[in-house]
Amino acid sequence: MHPCIKLKVYRSPPIAPSSHNTILITGCSSGIGRCVAEGLKTRGYRVFASARKAKDVEALAAAGFEALSLDLADSESIDAAVAEVKKLTDGSLYALFNNGAYGQPGAVEDLCREVLREQFESNFFGTHQLTRAVLPMMLAQGRGRIIQNSSVLGFVALAYRGAYTATKYALEGLSDTLRLELAGTGVHVSLIEPGPIDSRFRENAFAAYKRNIDAQSSRHHTRYAAMERRLGASEAPTPFTLPPEAVLKRVIHALESRRPRPRYYVTFPTYLFAVLKRLLPHRLMDRVLRGAEGER
Ligand SMILES: NC(=O)c1ccc[n+]([C@@H]2O[C@H](COP(=O)([O-])OP(=O)(O)OC[C@H]3O[C@@H](n4cnc5c(N)ncnc54)[C@H](OP(=O)(O)O)[C@@H]3O)[C@@H](O)[C@H]2O)c1
């Protein structure tokens, strides 16, 4: 096209929530999942809010959600939840928000195979199984949205987050591939990449650390002591932390825009690291990332 020709961009109107309004969300016991479930319900969506613990499923039901039990580390529970959603929607689920996950802190050399496997079962394999299970409903309707809650750690690494970072990089790779394969089907895949968000993430990561990392016998024990102080501190949020509503805003766009974005950055650190990753040589980027180590 000639450089003097200016393209006029027309924004098409968003899709009305009422005509595309069913969504299944994982990990609704707290944090982002709970906030997005509430926000979408208020907006008129029919929200299937899931959690893995019975007490959380009960609390969701008591709060007025169509609540489901779904543990991403348990294949049978995924199948049962999808069967229930199929029945309740007559096979017409519009969207899936793959949100449930946890962080397993620890140096890569201190992660045994079983601990790494557990991390992948919840954050990656379960998410994949669930996505495959709901996809036929979306394909049959010729429309649907798959929204993946990734992380800034889905495209940059930080020390002592190797297990979690590996699952989010894997999720990014799978989602990018899936998006290519679904082109033209009416089913869209979007990745959300939050930086620090106010939730129970840190508390849950600390529990996983205490469960699975033998700090005393590690050569990283000094760094672990600092990590324990940081993860155990209930106050003092990480700089640039945003409330989970910042993610809700992107989820709404990914659901209602006629052209949902492949990626949504959330928080200043995500924007910053995305730019730096493009600009800096690897060694310099490593220095920046080593400096940012305590920030998540
Ligand atoms: N908070 C952040 O700074 C941040 C930044 C980037 C990305 N994220 C992503 O945001 C998502 C939500 O995290 P959050 O910040 O809201 O933390 P959160 O408050 O800890 O919530 C995580 C949710 O995932 C659930 N979950 C964990 N393992 C699960 C499994 N096997 N099956 C089903 N659910 C499971 C948790 O359930 P239980 O209550 O039963 O443990 C909880 O409901 C995650 O994908 C996380 O990676 C968070």
Domains defined along the chain, listed by start: 17-295 (3.40.50.720)
H or E stretch covering 60:
helix 54-62
Q: 281 CA distance to ligand 1 centroid (A)?
A: 32
Residue whose CA is at the smallest distance from ligand 1 atom 8: 151
Q: Which of 104, 199, 212 to mutate to test the pocket of ligand 1 (most atoms within 8 A of CB)?
A: 199
d(CA 120, CA 127): 9
Q: pLDDT digits over 166-204, tens only?
A: 999 999 999 999 999 999 999 999 999 999 999 999 999
Question: How many angstroms separate the most distant Cα atoms in the chain?
Answer: 66
Phi, psi of 180 (to 5 degrees): -65, -40
78 Cβ below 6 A of ligand 1: no
Q: CA 296 from chain center: how many Å? A: 16
pLDDT less than 70: residues of the chain: 1-13, 16-20, 234-236, 294-296
Q: pLDDT digits over 17-49, tens only?
A: 655 699 999 999 999 999 999 999 999 999 999
- Count helices and strands (H / E) in the chain: 11, 7
User: For this structure, is 10 an active site residue?
Assistant: no
Calculate helix-pair angle for 221-232, 201-212, nearest 10 degrees.
Answer: 140
d(CA 94, CA 188): 11
DSSP code at position 123: I
Residues 224, 225, 226, 232, CA torsion sign? positive
d(CA 37, CA 25): 7
72 Cβ below 6 A of ligand 1: yes
199 Cβ below 6 A of ligand 1: yes
27 Cβ below 6 A of ligand 1: yes
What does the pLDDT read at residue 6?
A: 42
201 Cβ below 6 A of ligand 1: yes
Q: Please pick, among 102, 164, 169, 264, the residue that the annotation labels catalytic.
A: 164
Which structure tokens are listed for 295?
Answer: 């920030």
Please choose, from the candidates 95, 97, 102, the residue with its C-alpha nearest in 3D space to the C-alpha of residue 119.
102
Q: 83 CA distance to ligand 1 centroid (A)?
A: 23
